[in-house]
Structure 1
Amino acid sequence: MRNIFALIGLFATVALANFQLDSFQVYVDSVVPGARYGLSIRSVKTGNEIGNIRGGEKFTPASTLKTLTTAAAVHFLPLDYAPKTQVSLNGSVRKKTFVGIINVRGAGDPNFSGRYYADPFHMLYAMADSIHALGIDSVSGKIDLDSSYYKGPWRAEHWRKNFYDAWYGAEIAPLGFNDNCTMIRFKPGAKVGELARAEVVPDVGYVVLKNEMVTVPGKKRKWTWALDSAKPEITIGGAIGIGVDSSQLVLPVRNPIAYFKAAFIHALKERGIAFMEQPNVQEGIQIASYTYSAAPFLSFLDEINQRSQNLHAETIFRNLGAQKTGVGSVESGRAMEMKFLAEMGIDSTDFEVWDGCGLSPKNKVKPSTETKLLAKMARHPKGSYYINSFAGPGIGTGGKRMLDLPYPWLTRFKTGFIGEVHGLVGYIYTLDGDTLAVAMYFNETGKNPDAQLKDALDTLWTRLVYSANDSYASFMKMKQMWLGAQNVAGLTARLEYFSRLMKGTPYKLGPMGESYLDSIENKPLVYMDSVDCVTYLEHALAMALSPNENEIFNTLQKIRYKGGKIGYVNRKHYLLADWVADGKYARVMQVPGDTVIKRTIPKQDFFKAKKIKYDTPDAPMDLRYLPYNRAMELASKPYEGPLMVTGVAFVAGANNLDATHTGFVIFRNGELPKLRHAAFKKHVIELTLKDYLASRKGKLPGITLFEFLKQ
């Protein structure tokens, strides 16, 4: 069996092990057998691919192709771009009657509809109002519609035949109205046997409705519909039960240019302007000119990427070509997308583009190239506008998807679906501050139910979200705790506050690791459900030092890792030799009566056992500590002075180890020093340092006190 997993670089190898992509394929084979699955995961921060399954094979992307359409548009078009529909009156006005030609030049504005404005006539009314404002209450002449902005055909090629009879397959033109669709609303007749009552909404006198639907007993819903291939004729038939309240169909309208004209004439009439067609009227001088833009560019992105509106995708695809080459067509749109890919350093041959919306089954893309596109766009100067246009759990086409994610803001995605094709691409934000660009596809899905395929994609996507944000709830808990301590000032007071707030937290040895970023210990990067002695110190110190709640994670990782670089080899494994010796967050205190000895920590053996190369030679270290008897003397005397919070290391008896345990020591005026620590097999507790030392008599050489450093 061929190896379907491709690893790129060391980072990719490490992360892949933690995402366990082999289990992804096993899951796919078990729930949607026979479906061809493609996956790519890429770090936006590094640009490196973390791992893939069939990432180099081409897949039909369905509507996820819109991510390319909108990316090219965002790259080339200004953010204030808006298609301009131009209206000019060429003729003369005679006693409130305009005699001449109204010329309307379209430039691909799909928002002459109810998508951006509640009323689909909003823009047409604005046009009519401008004419009426000239004192005109009737027009005698003709309306010329200039559609030269686009090169045909209006009907996209290479789509499946049935798509042209669906609302999402409406014809594309530089002038359009109401998504180039109409609604057929119908309900039962008054009696069984009568025809159903049906209407066209909105009715501008253009669509011809042939009603053959019969009212029958009960609640039967067996209606049918058919569209003429060229004329705006719709036939509804079949049966509707008399117990049915009502229903509706949204269907495309043939010849959108003629549909626009009918809607414009209707708007003129509604605004008090009578229109009398005079085909032979002569064109006169221009007496007025107006320009209309229905909606801003960013609204296009939302319609395309959030709601997957095909008409908007096809218009912006052609508009991009028209804006940059002078011709609006599939060919010019494709040429601009190929130019965009070249400028982004992406191999354009990895994409096969036949439209702007993804309906053509001839469209192809490689998962690994799709994530390269997404990663490039995340770093694009206008990338935030691009990402924010995507859907998400409960948003747009994600309205019913992944609703059980407790933190839905951790992902944005674009969905895709046509027959035997499902796609899901987008972004996952990670706890470590990276963003993952992800692309998943199912092709050749056979008889697997669509709902099951969607659920499989959502399950795998959710698994990635959780893997990249292991124990996110702990991170949120730390933020809440930090916000509750905004009135606690000073490092000492904050250390006392947070160490006290964590009392009662259960003990667990080694609860943390490097999550998906390393394969040796892929435990959470943040974990508040349980702590060991060191992670207790680290979490409390991170909250105490962080200047705001958003810096908690970074502060914690800088405390835990050398240079803040997450990785098992960079973790400060030894309390005194690494954690305190780093010198940035803590420093050993000199205490009267202490002593210094030499110890060599065998770090090379430690890492060798983990099969990690570690080149730094083991060297003796100075270990300063207060011998046990002197420590008991210190712990037995009430402290005199202002509040002080230190760390304490309980020195190991073995010569190859620096310390066996740690905690906080709270010094309050007039009281014995108190030890707060994560007690083995118990929880975070507080007791006098004296009592703890007494329990370790004969087993403990002594203690090292260390102070925490302000940043």
Structure 2
Amino acid sequence: MRSLPLLLAGAVLAGCATPPASTTAQAPAAPVALETILQKPIYRMSPVEAGRYVAWQHAAEPDLRKRIAAIGRKNIGQPYILNLLGEFPFEVHDNLPLFSLDHSDCVVFAEHTYAMALSRSWEEFFWMLQRIRYKDGVIGVATRNHYTELDWNVSNRWLLTDISAELAGANGPGYDMRVDRARFLRTRHNTVRDIPVETSRQAFVPKDAVAGIAAQLREGDFVNVISTRDGEHWASHVGLVVLGPDGERHFLHSSEPQVREETFASYIARAAEREAKNAREGKNGQRLAGFKFLRLNDNIVVPPMAPQPRPGS
């Protein structure tokens, strides 16, 4: 007769093993037809549907620049939420997730669009998203590309090249930046890192000169909106260049209340209206100074992820 401990051990071991599939188990739901998926905007797709759309788009449009425009436009109308993503559950400094399909802010919209355009599946998209979003693809709040000019643009040189100085010309304007990442991480994310202060000189195209250089922009290029207040300049917003039906350069971006496509002239005019309203109300709001432009590279070689280090105590 078997002893009770032996019987209990057998029960535990049996509980750890995968049981045979039940012959009465409910069959999985039939996949949604591709035609139905293609009728949806991306922000109304499930991850499974988005993965199928990414695969279809990659096969249907071999031109990366056109694929970026098509995927970006597939999200026109996507609702806007600022500060949307974080590192949860990999890190718990907040409860914000690593991706979002249903909402975006300006950076999330650009990152998701580039990542989808470079991918053939959901799994590759998620990998590519982290490669774009973090320095060397290493997930963590301290390795996230927080500062547009000195983090995002630099970390993604494999994807884009800053052509702002070239477009602005020898006498084009510039601004000095000073970035204290250690202070930012400590005050915004309760994260302590020993990172030295960095300074940099940045070139940009003034808003009044954009019409004159617009014809040099290409579909899929990256846009940094440069704002100023009290003598300081910074990239306050980002988006993508797409071509309109007549070849006119349009600005595709996520801003309150949703993703939209408009001409650069329209964006500049709306900024002027906002600034005039702030002046009437006595507010010291930010003002539009101009734009930085980053050229989508012709021969993109996606670098590998760096090893994900074991988290410290």
Report the TM-score, using the length of structure 2 for normalisation: 0.74
8 Å Cα contact 2:173/2:204 also seen in 1? yes
Q: 2:194 aligns with which of 615, 637, 643?
A: 615
Structure exhibiting the larger radius of gyration computed from Cα positions: 1
Which residue of the partner structure matches residue 696 of structure 1? Answer: 271
Q: 2:3 aligns with which of 158, 165, 171?
A: 158
Identify, as 1 or 2, the structure richer in helix. 2
Identity percentage of aligned residues: 23
Letter in 2 for 1:630: A
Deviation at 1:556, TM superposition (A): 0.6
Which residue of the partner structure matches residue 38 of structure 2? Answer: none
Distance in 1 (CA, whole Å) between partners of 2:211 and 2:216 is 16
Letter in 2 for 1:512: L
8 Å Cα contact 1:474/1:527 also seen in 2? no
Matches within 5 A, 1:195-214: none
Deviation at 1:683, TM superposition (A): 1.0
Residue 570 to residue 404, structure 1, CA distance change in 2 (3 Å): farther
Distance in 2 (CA, whole Å) between partners of 1:646 and 1:612 is 33
8 Å Cα contact 1:601/1:656 also seen in 2? no
The alignment partner of 1:652 has SS state of strand
Matches within 5 A, 1:493-572: 493-572=66-145
Deviation at 1:532, TM superposition (A): 0.6
Deviation at 1:669, TM superposition (A): 8.2
The alignment partner of 2:167 has SS state of coil
The alignment partner of 2:177 has SS state of strand
The alignment partner of 2:251 has SS state of strand
Deviation at 1:701, TM superposition (A): 1.2
Deviations 1:355-408 (A, max 9, x none): 48634xxx79xxxxx9xxx8xxxxxxxxxxxxxx7249xx449959xx999x9x
Q: 1:603 aligns with which of 181, 205, 208?
A: 181
Which residue of the partner structure matches residue 354 of structure 1? Answer: 6
Deviation at 1:521, TM superposition (A): 2.7
Deviation at 1:508, TM superposition (A): 1.1
Deviation at 1:549, TM superposition (A): 4.3
Distance in 1 (CA, whole Å) between partners of 2:213 and 2:265 is 8
Distance in 2 (CA, whole Å) between partners of 1:516 and 1:397 is 36
The alignment partner of 1:492 has SS state of helix
Which residue of the partner structure matches residue 482 of structure 1? Answer: 54
Distance in 2 (CA, whole Å) between partners of 1:645 and 1:404 is 39
Which residue of the partner structure matches residue 226 of structure 2? Answer: 651
Letter in 1 for 2:290: G
Q: 1:629 aligns with which of 208, 221, 233?
A: 208
Which residue of the partner structure matches residue 661 of structure 1? Answer: 237
Distance in 1 (CA, whole Å) between partners of 2:46 and 2:194 is 35
Deviation at 1:671, TM superposition (A): 3.4
Distance in 2 (CA, whole Å) between partners of 1:516 and 1:614 is 20
The alignment partner of 2:295 has SS state of strand
Deviation at 1:648, TM superposition (A): 0.6
Letter in 2 for 1:564: G
Residue 505 to residue 396, structure 1, CA distance change in 2 (3 Å): same
Report the TM-score, using the length of structure 1 for normalisation: 0.34
Matches within 5 A, 1:219-618: 354-355=6-7, 358-359=10-11, 390-391=18-19, 395-396=21-22, 399=25, 474-485=46-57, 486-582=59-155, 583-589=157-163, 590-593=166-169, 594-609=172-187, 610-618=189-197
Distance in 1 (CA, whole Å) between partners of 2:109 and 2:141 is 19
Which residue of the partner structure matches residue 307 of structure 2? Answer: none
The alignment partner of 1:516 has SS state of coil
8 Å Cα contact 2:107/2:239 also seen in 1? yes
Distance in 1 (CA, whole Å) between partners of 2:46 and 2:268 is 32
Deviation at 1:488, TM superposition (A): 0.4
8 Å Cα contact 2:115/2:129 also seen in 1? yes
Residue 631 to residue 602, structure 1, CA distance change in 2 (3 Å): farther
Bigger relative CO (Cα 8 Å, ≥ 6 apart): 2
Deviation at 1:536, TM superposition (A): 0.4
The alignment partner of 2:98 has SS state of coil
Deviations 1:51-105 (A, max 9, x none): xxxxxxxxxxxxxxxxxxxxxxxxxxxxxxxxxxxxxxxxxxxxxxxxxxxxxxx
8 Å Cα contact 1:676/1:687 also seen in 2? yes
Distance in 1 (CA, whole Å) between partners of 2:177 and 2:251 is 26
Identify, as 1 or 2, the structure richer in strand. 1
Q: 1:679 aligns with which of 232, 255, 262?
A: 255
Distance in 2 (CA, whole Å) between partners of 1:523 and 1:516 is 8
Deviation at 1:632, TM superposition (A): 4.5
Letter in 2 for 1:552: F
The alignment partner of 1:591 has SS state of helix
Residue 525 to residue 474, structure 1, CA distance change in 2 (3 Å): farther
- Structure 1: state its 5+ residue gaps: 1-154, 160-352, 365-369, 375-388, 408-470
Distance in 2 (CA, whole Å) between partners of 1:629 and 1:691 is 13
Deviation at 1:656, TM superposition (A): 6.4
Q: After the TM superposition, which segments of 4 or more aligned residues of structure 1 sit over 6 Å from their partners?
A: none
Letter in 1 for 2:194: D
Matches within 5 A, 1:59-70: none
The alignment partner of 1:658 has SS state of strand
Distance in 2 (CA, whole Å) between partners of 1:684 and 1:533 is 8
